[in-house]
Amino acid sequence: MTAFIINKEQLIDNYHRFCRWQQAVPHYVNRHEGEVQHCHNCGKEFDGNFCPICGQRAEVGRVGWNSIKENIAVLWGLDSRSLTYTLVQLLSRPGYLVRDYISGHRQVSFPPVKMLVIVCLFMVIFESLFHLENDVLSLNFKIKEADEMVAWMNAQKSWTTLLVQSILILPTWLVFRYAPAYPRHTLPEGFFLQVFISSQTLILGFSGYWSGTAEFVLCLIFMYITYRQLFGYGWWSTLWRLAVVVLSEWSFIFVVLAIVLAFFEFIEVGKNEAVTMEGFLLFIGGLTAIVTVALCVTHFINKRTNKTIQ
């Protein structure tokens, strides 16, 4: 019993240490403190790791074998802002990493857009080499044109994932506009937030080769963790706001599909059944109205809560 209590206390202590590590403010070490450096690029003398005029590193000297290694490392994200390190951070402290980046700590992570391109490229190469398939949209409308469109999107997993993630920028801004931990959330910041989440989603997408359900659940869990760490809402407040954001995303997808199918006089539901276009569009219109009301109500609640706190 005593051993169990000790293990439990140790587990709690490790958890608190992990939480402190997640929320730690980035810091940098001056490797050349007290040393006068001479910049080979602009001739400026300075004290520090980088020249304050042109930004060149203090260690730069003659071109040698290390120069080749460093340039290759920079190309593939293995330099001081390691791609591997950033991806680990993206899975272990995603919301705090995003907050660090959008609040001005640009050097804490690998450039997000470049990271996304490299992750996309790696996934395309991986799927091509092993001839793997992993659907983004597991939808079957039993309508030739719609199913062909979904099949094409599933064949372009990386780019479809980016397209689907971009839909989240506006609803995320509306739902989390007045968040307690980051009340000044803007659309440009939302773009970078979704860039980080897109990279996260593509990494988790590897689980989809084993189970599509597992991939979907993991993506929702990590989105939830990211939103909670970044915006600072409680467990329940983050959960229902995430539900509104996801509902908005899927509603938009269905509306786009409805517009594509609107070119046809009727939609076949089965072999002997049919539903008129008017009925189908009425369903889509009702869904859009529900999502719009949900977004507006959420935005009003956030704004009112923010004023009450202030």
**Mean pLDDT, consecutive 10-residue segments, the chain of 310 residues?**
60 80 72 74 78 76 67 60 82 91 83 87 78 63 68 73 84 86 85 92 78 82 93 89 87 74 53 53 70 74 63
Is 25 within the bounds of a domain?
A: no
The DSSP code for 41 is: T
Number of independent structural domains in the chain: 1
pLDDT of residue 143: 64
Q: Answer yes or no: are the C-beta atoms of 154 and 137 closer than 8 Å.
A: yes
Residue from 203, 213, 218 nearest 126 by CA: 203
Alpha helices in 32-111 (DSSP H): 65-75, 83-92, 94-102
Q: Answer yes or no: are the C-beta atoms of 97 and 108 closer than 8 Å.
A: yes
pLDDT of residue 195: 92
State residue 306 phi and psi, 5-degree precision.
Answer: -65, -40
CB-based burial, 157-169: b 16+ in 10 Å, e otherwise: bbebbbebbebbb
The whole-angstrom separation of Cα 61 and Cα 41 is 10
**DSSP calls for 2-39:** HHHHHHHHHHHHHHHHHHHHHTPPP----TTTTPPEE-
The whole-angstrom separation of Cα 268 and Cα 144 is 10
For residue 104, list its beta bridge partners: none
Is 82 within the bounds of a domain?
A: no
Neighbours of 190 (CB within 10 A): 21
pLDDT of residue 225: 94
Is 243 within the bounds of a domain?
A: yes
Rounded to the nearest angstrom, the gap between the alpha carbon of residue 174 and the centroid of all alpha carbons in its chain is 17
pLDDT of residue 4: 47
Domain extent for 209:
110-309
State residue 267 phi and psi, 5-degree precision.
Answer: -115, 125
CA distances to 87, 109, 250, 254, 255 from 258, rounded to whole Å, are 37, 40, 12, 6, 5
State residue 49 phi and psi, 5-degree precision.
Answer: -85, -25
Q: How far apart are the first and last CA of the chain?
A: 48
The whole-angstrom separation of Cα 172 and Cα 249 is 10
Helix axis angle, 83-92 to 187-204, nearest 10°: 90
The two structure tokens encoding residue 239: 């959960």
Is 5 within the bounds of a domain?
A: no
Is pTM beyond 0.85? Reply is no
pLDDT of residue 108: 76
Is 302 within the bounds of a domain?
A: yes
Is 32 within the bounds of a domain?
A: no
pLDDT of residue 306: 62
**DSSP calls for 160-182:** HHHHHHHTTHHHHHHHSTT-SS-
pLDDT of residue 117: 86
Is 161 within the bounds of a domain?
A: yes
pLDDT of residue 123: 81
pLDDT of residue 270: 45
Is 300 within the bounds of a domain?
A: yes
pLDDT of residue 94: 92
pLDDT of residue 139: 63
